[in-house]
Amino acid sequence: MSASHDGQGEQASAISLPASQIQGQTTPMISRPNFQKTNEDKMKHQLSIGFPAPSIKMLAWVQGDPVHVFHPGWIYIIVYLSTTCGYCETALSALETLQEMYKDMGVEVIGVVAKEPASTADEARSLVETWLAETLSNSDIRIAYDHTGEMDKLWMDASLSFRVPQAFVVSKNGTIAYIGDPNSLECILHGVIDGSWDSSAEAREAEKERLAECEVNALERGFEIQIGTAIEVRDWKRALAATEEAIKSIPDNPTFREAHVELLMIKLHAFEAGWIALGRFARDAIERNCADWLLAAMRQLFCSPYEYSSLPFAERFSMGKELSDCILRLCPKQDALSRAESYEKIASYYHENGEKSRAVELVEQALALVQGETLSDDVKQEWIADLMRVLGKYKQ
């Protein structure tokens, strides 16, 4: 989903979240409070495939019969969720279908909500119950929550997991068989059921890749906290220094490049330095030919609250043309929602360039793609409302 559909407004900013808000993003990346110590320990994981499954005794149950221990011979899919995660509803609905398919083979799905922004256990329960009533009222999946922090510590933190939804598969012998994206479960579940997955080379390679990605995620998370903390106290120079260090340490993350440009242009009013940074960002995006980078650069060039009159007119539109052409070439390989996001971003360039009919055409194509997708009503309506707002603006 594009930045304009993530609950942060039409012009979402890479630097808009202070440290106190980082833990509750629409698609949460669960933070590690003791990141510095974790970094010094070189990201040692304490939970991986083949390890005994941790306890779930601390869970408080909201829906379905309680499960206090994992029974031998059963396969449990523990899915970590959040009431603020826009994708969790879709993931849980798919898992309910999976459970129905495999329930006769001893597969049980348990949804776990933890780390909610609640001061008491009763408040946390109320948040979860309200969320279930609004989004998953017909679900038969067992749902529990934990307000003690133990579940987070034993499962998410121990496995170096940072995002939700996150799935943990407990095999028939009580050990962890899989950790990762719930979308991949259908591909591996047959192997877990017949016992061939647990000791396979494929399982080991998947976990190796996951842990390598986790190390990068942890490093990213640490820089996000540093930058967010500086932004919260309006220390723009410290935020800039942390952002520049993040770019050096993690050169493949376009979000830090966006934050760098925004800090220079918006907070420090260093327009010359900001334009140099933005130009380099756009050139790197074109060279990489990666959709995430191209869209981020386009967002900075045409969809951000800058005083664009201070930037070189011809160069800006020349870059916009190159970015648009690159994005359009990638569109046939994208899924429908990614294409809709691409069309919406490209349309901003055409509209500002005076090609209003082309801009309208692109937004109408994006709208048709979204309307044809199977999405939850609230997500679809958010997309449609945003696109209709843009379409109305372009038709004026």
Average pLDDT over residues 250-254: 95
Whether 2 has a pLDDT exceeding 90, the answer reads no
**Which one is predicted more confidently, 326 or 45?**
326
- Backbone angles phi and psi of 200, in degrees to 5: -80, 155
Q: Tell me which of 72 and 119 has the higher pLDDT.
A: 72
Q: What is the pLDDT of residue 13?
A: 55
Cβ-contact 185, 78 below 8 angstroms? no
Q: How far apart are the C-alpha atoms of 363 and 369, rounded to whole Å?
A: 10
pLDDT at residue 18, as a whole number: 36
Tracing tokens 């050169």 back to the chain, one arrives at 251
pLDDT tens-digit readout, 341-384: 999 999 999 999 999 999 999 999 999 999 999 887 888 999 99
Average pLDDT over all residues of the chain: 86
Using CB atoms within 10 Å of the CB of residue 354, give its burial: 0 to 12 exposed, 13 to 18 middle, 19+ buried: exposed
Closest CA to 98 of 37, 156, 169, 35: 169
Which residue shows structure tokens 């980082």? 22
At residue 135's C-alpha, the angle toward residues 133 and 141, to 5°, is 80
Whole-angstrom Cα distance, residue 325 to residue 344? 14
pLDDT in the model for residue 138: 75
Q: What is the pLDDT of residue 14?
A: 60
Residue 302 · residue 269 · CB < 8 Å: no
Q: What is the pLDDT of residue 15?
A: 56
- Burial of 346: CB neighbours in 10 Å, binned 0-12, 13-18, 19+: buried
CA dihedral (275, 276, 281, 286) positive or negative: positive
pLDDT of 7:
32
pLDDT of residue 40: 38
User: CA 171, 173, 174 angle in degrees (round to 5)?
Assistant: 70
* Residue 331 backbone phi and psi in degrees, to 5: -55, -40
- Given this model, what pLDDT does residue 163 score? 86
Higher per-residue pLDDT: 339 or 378: 339
- Tell me the mean pLDDT in the region 191-198: 93
Flag the least confident range among 210-219, 247-256, 302-311. Answer: 302-311
pLDDT tens digits for range 75-99: 999 999 998 887 888 888 888 889 8
Strands 75-81 and 107-114 come out as: parallel
Q: What pLDDT, on the 0 to 100 scale, is given for residue 50?
A: 94
In this structure, what DSSP letter does residue 33 have?
Answer: T
State yes or no: pLDDT of 253 exceeds 50.
yes
Average pLDDT of span 228-234: 95
- More confidently predicted of 215 and 384: 384
pLDDT, tens only, 5-39: 433 333 345 654 433 333 333 333 323 333 333 34
pLDDT the model gives residue 6: 36
> In the predicted model, what is the mean pLDDT of residues 51-58?
95
Query: Which ranges constitute the DSSP H helices of 103-249?
Result: 121-135, 150-151, 185-194, 201-232, 236-249
Position 88 scores a pLDDT of 86
